[in-house]
């Protein structure tokens, strides 16, 4: 049995679809604000692998609630990793491009030094460091710009706003790889499987969609795929201030995915599927 932390997030929702036989734990069963309880759940069920697809993801709110964000994103993964190490089972832990400062225009390699710009990124770095320090079999899987047919995400926001407006202003100086939650979930399951037989594959990896694009470019692709006439106006990040700074460069070097027989998904194909699913649900 695989134990999955998270039920309602985008990747967690897709994990529930792809692996219904796994034990999927929501906040009512395993609250990440109680790290010791999370560790106890792992010890109590003794699964063959653990996937942590739960996290504090309110990037802007983390600026004013950093202690709580760090408890959930740092202390909880630490407790999970120690429990997994004790039981000698692999842990797949999801992380983010926000651990980097977004400088330059080249893809960040997994071993590039972290330098988060804000509280959310700092909390995720704490979690990564703790997972490594536990000394067990693990994969830290960083991703960016996740989208799907459920949860809150950029695609759904653009479709909602684009249906009622003639134009939208979207930042064009932040570049990254939109990541389909469904392929991210499938990658988590594949990595968990490989790690059970090959613990030496432990390490930090990147997984995101291709090709890289700006938020404005992604918005145009969404409008075109959905058949919406809403025009997208390019703006700079400084024209749309937020409490938390966003990295301008979210490009990730995903070449190490070959270790698990994986490659980057084409987000354009996934976007078609997501919009079709959303239209079918409406």
Per-residue pLDDT tens over the stretch 99-129: 999 999 999 999 999 999 999 999 999 999 9
Task: Give yes or no for residue 27 having a pLDDT over 90.
Answer: no
Who's near 204: CB < 8 A, 6+ residues apart?
110, 111, 128, 132, 139, 140, 142
Give the model confidence (pLDDT) of 170-193 as tens digits.
999 999 999 999 999 999 999 999
Q: Which CATH architecture does the domain made up of 2-281 adopt? A: 3-Layer(aba) Sandwich (3.40)
Q: Choosing from 98, 120, 205, 240, which is the catalytic residue? A: 120
205 catalytically annotated: no
What is residue 230's predicted lDDT score, i.e. its pLDDT? 97
The whole-model pTM stands at: 0.95
3-state secondary structure 163-228: CCCCEEEEECCCEECCEEHHHHHHHHHHHHHHHHHCHHHCEEEECCCECCEEHHHHHHHHHHHHCC
With residue 280 as reference, give the H or E element that holds it.
Answer: helix 267-281
- 130-162, pLDDT tens digit by residue? 999 999 999 999 999 999 998 899 999 999 999
Q: How far apart are CA 17 and CA 22, in angstroms?
A: 10
- Distance CA(144)–CA(171), nearest Å, equals 16
Give me the pLDDT at residue 282, please. Answer: 60
Would you state the torsion angle of the CA atoms of residues 221, 225, 231, 234, taken in this order, to the nearest 10 degrees? -10
Q: What percent of the chain has pLDDT over 70?
A: 99
Q: What percent of the chain has pLDDT over 90?
A: 95
For residues 162 and 228, is the Cβ–Cβ distance under 8 A?
yes
pLDDT at 281: 66
Checking if the pLDDT of 252 tops 80, the result is yes
Give dist(CA 134, CA 110) in Å, integer: 19
- Separation CA 208–CA 146 (nearest Å): 8
Please tell me the predicted confidence (pLDDT) of residue 145. Answer: 98
């Amino acid at each position: 049995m695989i134990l999955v932390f998270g039920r309602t997030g985008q990747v967690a929702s897709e994990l529930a679809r792809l692996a219904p036989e796994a034990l999927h734990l929501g906040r009512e069963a395993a609250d990440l604000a109680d790290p010791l309880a999370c560790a106890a759940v792992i010890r109590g069920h003794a699964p063959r692998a653990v996937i942590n697809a739960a996290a504090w993801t309110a990037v802007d709110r983390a600026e004013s609630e950093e202690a709580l964000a760090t408890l959930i994103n740092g202390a909880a993964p630490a407790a999970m990793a120690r429990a997994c190490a004790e039981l000698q089972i692999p842990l797949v832990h999801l992380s983010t491009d926000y651990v980097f400062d977004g400088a330059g225009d080249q893809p960040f390699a997994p071993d590039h030094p972290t330098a988060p710009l804000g509280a959310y990124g700092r909390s995720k770095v704490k979690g990564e460091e703790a997972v490594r320090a536990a000394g067990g079999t693990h994969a830290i899987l960083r991703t960016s710009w996740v989208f799907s047919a459920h949860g809150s995400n950029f695609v759904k926001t653009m479709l909602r706003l684009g249906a009622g407006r003639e134009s939208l202003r979207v930042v064009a100086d932040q570049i990254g790889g939109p990541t389909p939650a469904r392929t991210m979930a499938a990658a988590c399951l594949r990595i968990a499987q490989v790690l059970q037989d090959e613990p030496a594959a432990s390490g930090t990896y990147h997984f995101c969609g291709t090709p890289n694009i700006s938020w404005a470019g992604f918005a145009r692709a969404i409008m075109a795929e959905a058949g919406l006439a809403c025009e997208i106006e390019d703006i700079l990040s400084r024209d749309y201030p937020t409490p938390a700074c966003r990295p301008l460069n979210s490009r990730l070097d995903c070449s190490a995915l070959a270790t698990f027989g994986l490659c980057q998904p084409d987000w354009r194909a996934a976007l078609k599927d997501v919009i079709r699913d959303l239209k079918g649900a409406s």
